[in-house]
Amino acid sequence: MSAGGVSSGVNRVWQLAARPTGFPSPEDFRLVEEAVPAPGPGQVVVRNEVMSVDPAMRGRMNDVPSYVAPFQLDRPLDGGAVGTVVASESPDVPVGASVLHGLGWREYAVLDAGHTRVVDTTIAPASAYLGVLGMPGLTAYAGLLDVAHMRPDENVFVSGAAGAVGSLAGQIARLRGARTVIGSAGSPEKVRYLVDDLGFDGAFNYKEGPIRTQLKQLTPDGIDVYFDNVGGEQLEAALFRMNLHGRVAVCGAISQYNSPEPYGIRNLSLLISKRVSLLGFLVMDHWDRRQAFVEEMSGWLREGKVKVSETFVDGIGHAVDAFLGMLRGENVGKMIVRLADPGEPV
Ligand SMILES: NC(=O)c1ccc[n+]([C@@H]2O[C@H](COP(=O)([O-])OP(=O)(O)OC[C@H]3O[C@@H](n4cnc5c(N)ncnc54)[C@H](OP(=O)(O)O)[C@@H]3O)[C@@H](O)[C@H]2O)c1
């Protein structure tokens, strides 16, 4: 059953060397070389071609209980990746199959075939399964439609709007009939991109000028749905602008992930008078929506109605740069680390 193999036998793997305090630094990570293990019964060896760096990985670097276990010191990091099976001891996942799995941050992953999902890289590139057709896409879809229950003709605000989740949340809102879609992002280039390329009705740079004033100017009819990727000051500003019976899908709080002191939201009592609901969610509770999401998103992609943005960083040696760059806002759309070309000899 086993076929293929790994000629070099060397696997470069990123470990967590120290738990970051505040903004992580390159010294918190270590790249080690180890041998690629042979697959055991039911296992496959995957040569990773693309891997994801996600904001949630920052949370897993803290030693606190959460919905996913923290990363362990001196142990490999992990996360979403897509690659090609180069050796297999499983009848279900043959050599040559492209698979999505959870052992990124390394060149080769050895894992049970049951922990992989075969994906078709002839209909969409491998990176799409980490972005527009993957976890970030489903997060945008479920957050907007199932958590915030966005309805046609509503006014929508998306923060972190030029990132992986935000760029899709804004486009889905437009395609599902929002009256207006407003976004925020951290540079003038991103603001232009939201309006000129993605079709947002308006956008502002949260680093330039008071957030509350900028948001007020762009939302003369208030906000019915706020898709919150950042928390903190932008959440507070959005609460001032929420309409009666508005809904906030609390997706993420990236403005808080590296800050030593949490931003204290001062206007929560507005939830009462405006009957606004503020609902946090995790994409993992919405896997049952994956099929509906993939069908609808695939249709939009085929018709050219959704623009896909990806920022690539090349080489396993630069995976930490990509992660830190994503936290600093160096990405437009999904930040992806490219590890190998599928055409390259193993
Ligand atoms: N609930 C869930 O299940 C779920 C699933 C996936 C992701 N999320 C959350 O969704 C959010 C977006 O994730 P993503 O994967 O799409 O990442 P992303 O938006 O592609 O990348 C992160 C972006 O955050 C922005 N940022 C960094 N510091 C910021 C700050 N202080 N204030 C405002 N924005 C800041 C940067 O853009 P700028 O240039 O605009 O600053 C950066 O590009 C994150 O909060 C993440 O934790 C939640």
pLDDT grade, residue 25 (50/70/90)? very high
On whether the CB atoms of residues 171 and 199 are closer than 8 A, the answer is yes
For residue 283, the ligand 1 atom closest to its alpha carbon is: 3
CA 209 – ligand 1 centroid, Å: 20
Give 163 Cα–ligand 1 centroid separation in angstroms.
6
Q: For residue 320, which of 82, 67, 106 has the smallest C-alpha distance? A: 106
**Cβ atoms within 10 Å, residue 64:** 8
Ligand 1 atom with the shortest distance to the CA of 160: 40
Task: Check pLDDT > 90 for residue 17.
Answer: yes
DSSP symbols for 13-26 = EEEE-S--SSS--G
pLDDT at 227 over 50: yes
Mutational pocket test of ligand 1: of 68, 254, 284, 287, the residue with most ligand atoms within 8 Å of the beta carbon? 254
Q: How far is CA 106 from CA 36, 117, 129, in A?
A: 10, 18, 18
Ligand 1 cavity residues, CB under 6 Å = 54-56, 136, 139, 160, 162-166, 185-187, 190, 229-230, 251-255, 281-283, 326-327, 329, 331, 335
Tell me the pLDDT band of 107, cut-offs 50, 70 and 90.
Answer: very high
How many residues in total does the chain contain?
346
Nearest alpha carbon to residue 223 among 208, 231, 235, 233:
235
3-state secondary structure of 323: helix
pLDDT class for 345, splitting at 50, 70, 90? low
pLDDT digits (tens, 9 = 90+) for 139-192: 999 999 999 999 999 999 999 999 999 999 999 999 999 999 999 999 999 999
CA of 56 from ligand 1 middle (Å) equals 9
C-alpha span between 190 and 227 (Å, rounded): 18
Alpha carbon of 186 to ligand 1 centroid (Å): 11
Task: Give the mutation target among 53, 61, 229, 293 for probing the ligand 1 site: most ligand atoms within 8 A of CB.
Answer: 229
Residue ID of nearest Cα to ligand 1 atom 45: 252
Determine what percent of the chain falls in helix, strand and coil, rounding each to the nearest 5. Answer: 30, 25, 40
**Which atom of ligand 1 is the closest one to the Cα of 253?**
45
For ligand 1, atom 18, name the residue with the nearest CA.
163
Nearest-5° angle of CA 87, CA 339, CA 163? 125
- Lookup result for tokens 């690659």: 83
Helix (H, G, I), strand (E, B) or coil at 207: coil
Residue 69's Cβ-side half-sphere holds a number of Cα atoms within 13 Å equal to 6
Q: What does the pLDDT look like over 96-106, one tens digit per residue?
A: 999 999 999 99
Q: What residue type is assigned to position 314 of the chain?
A: D
Nearest to 344 by CA among 119, 127, 128, 107: 107
- Compute how many other C-beta atoms are within 10 angstroms of the C-beta atom of residue 262: 11
Using most ligand atoms within 8 A of CB, pick from 58, 68, 165 the residue to mutate for ligand 1. Answer: 165
Is the pLDDT at 2 greater than 90? The verdict is: no
DSSP 143-162: IIIIIS---TT-EEEESSTT
pLDDT-derived band of residue 7, with 50, 70 and 90 as boundaries?
Answer: low
Res 9: pLDDT: 83
The whole-angstrom separation of Cα 314 and Cα 198 is 26
